[in-house]
Structure 1
């Protein structure tokens, strides 16, 4: 992991808003890179769960010999959890929002962040579907707003999509791109907004074709996943990926994309919506395209995914 070298660039103090799976891991990425990080959420229970999960992840990493116990403990000590957004934002240099993919919620958060954060702070959203122009317009600093989209699992995946909107300044883009590099990630710059950005648009084509093949009875989920892994070199197949990300998340992202484009082809596939309504949400619920309640089906390795 990179060392604590970013303080000289004025972005030493990082605030992550939202302690879900993505937000908590993003916070840990910055803490491991030497930043002082505050993870904020609206509930104490959500923060406690996030903290426990991160400690378990760090323990597992240490047990595998990939990190020393001292390094893990120092990083965890740099991570503070709070429900107080005002206190958390007051000293932040860089803020990344990782709340639910609902525009009204994000706009409320950004309006508050703009009021509470120092004037120099950069405000970013981790959204994978909503362009930052939609939250920038509720702030008085649109030039300091952009998308900084990490991939799941953020502790593993190297790619980070940086998306500028028409008012994002070049100084903001340059600063964020360099920041992403200093935390050990590889930034990909999008010069203008487009729903789904780059990676998820590519993966969406594969997912939709996989669903069409299954729906037509051409091949099973297992065989389609096997083809993706053994012929295309993907770390997991499209159905395994949907289960890992969550059927509910897939459905929500499709609906958000449709809200942006108005294109009916962007709506959730009927098979996805049927599974969502039946509560088959993937790994999180124990059942998705695969059954995770038996040991032989717990076969997805968290080594690479999107969204």
Structure 2
């Protein structure tokens, strides 16, 4: 049987490692396992890994109940997905890494430098960062040609887009392999020709979010009305404030802060209303309160 171009580009990718057992990292790991790849989700402690496992099992079991997945596919994915706190041991035998740790450049540079020391020569190192471009971490490794952004969207089990973003040293083969992997995951690839903080989707979302915050700050309309306009007039599935609560106000804040640290442009700084909400600790759905208040249900 003739190989498809995507299958040919996948080359040696048989095992995928995802660093970070948060919402994004754990769901990316399950996406990989559901697509047929042996996958390991890594975190620094056992507790977040067990929480991730329980939540993933709950989600995919519910999908089976609702007829969205077959019991056989889910059972096979559970067998393919493992969890570990031993990062170096896992990375030493992996073909591609998707880093999904905190949006902190110093932390990411340490992670990439450490992975570079133990990963096989052929291993591709990607970051799921939605804002930190891969050139900021590539030079911490001895393989910048095998480093790029592979950016998923929240919730990764549902959202179809993956942005593939090369840095100036990323090889064409690396881009082809990462694109092929995203397609094997069942995702739609958004390929950027060059890197820019925020990439494509988040830059468009950021423009809408800034305008929404400006309108609220100016007293033009309240949160509910601005969200209603986005949904009823623009046909968006969620309003900008609802989306911030879903993704996490802390994430939205840190993304803006990371962009400012990269660009030095004060226009990149978090909006004062977003900063105030972040400092209050009200991060949205994850804390039960953000722009809206949520019940335990």
**Preserved contact between residue 27 and residue 155 of structure 2 (Cα < 8 Å):** yes
Change (3 A) 1:209 1:44: same
Aligned to 1:195: 197
The answer as to whether partners of 2:9 and 2:180 remain within 8 angstroms in 1 is no
TM-score (norm 1): 0.92
**Paired residues of 2:231 and 2:239 also in contact (CA < 8 A):** yes
Deviation by residue 1:170-196 (Cα, 9 ceiling, x = unmatched): 111111111111110011111111110
Is contact 1:17-1:41 (8 Å) kept?
Answer: yes
Which residue of the partner structure matches residue 292 of structure 2?
290
CA distance 1:230–1:113, shift in 2 (3 Å): same
SS in 2 for 1:284: coil
| Structure 1 residue runs without a partner (length 5+) | 296-307
Corresponding residue of 1:111: 113
CA offsets 1:246-279 (integer angstroms, 9 cap, x no match): 1111111111011111111211111111111112
2:181 match: 179
Contact 2:246 2:284 in 1 (8 A): yes
Aligned residue for 2:56, secondary structure, equals: helix
- What stretches of structure 1 move > 2 A for 4+ residues in a row? 5-9
Aligned-pair Cα RMSD in Å: 1.4
For 2:281 and 2:144, the matched residues in 1 are separated by: 39
Matches of residues 24-103 of structure 1 in structure 2 within 5 Å? 24-103=26-105
Tell me, in whole angstroms, the C-alpha distance in 2 between the residues paired with 1:26 and 1:294. 25
Q: Which residue of 1 aligns with 2:4?
A: none
Check conservation: 1:6, 1:182, Cα contact below 8 A.
no
Change over 3 Å in CA distance of 1:53–1:166 after alignment to 2: same
| Secondary structure of the corresponding residue to residue 120 of structure 2 | coil
Between the aligned partners of 2:76 and 2:284, the Cα distance in structure 1 is: 34
SS at the partner of 2:178? helix
Q: 8 Å contact 2:9–2:176 — kept in the other structure?
A: no
What is the aligned partner in structure 2 of residue 256 from structure 1?
258
Task: Give the C-alpha shift of residue 9 in structure 1.
Answer: 2.4
The answer as to 2:223 corresponding to 1:221 is: yes
Match of 2:176, SS state, is helix
Show CA shifts across 1:212-264 (max 9, x none).
Answer: 11111111111111111111111100000011111111111111011111111
Say if 1:61 and 1:55 are closer, same or farther in 2 by CA, change over 3 A.
Answer: same
Distance, in Å, in 2 between the alignment partners of 1:140 and 1:7 is 23
1:155 correspondence with 2:157? yes
Q: How far has the Cα of 1:135 moved from its partner?
A: 0.9
> Partners in 1 of 2:23 and 2:95 — Cα distance?
23
Matches within 5 A, 1:224-235: 224-235=226-237
The aligned residue for residue 125 of structure 1 is 127
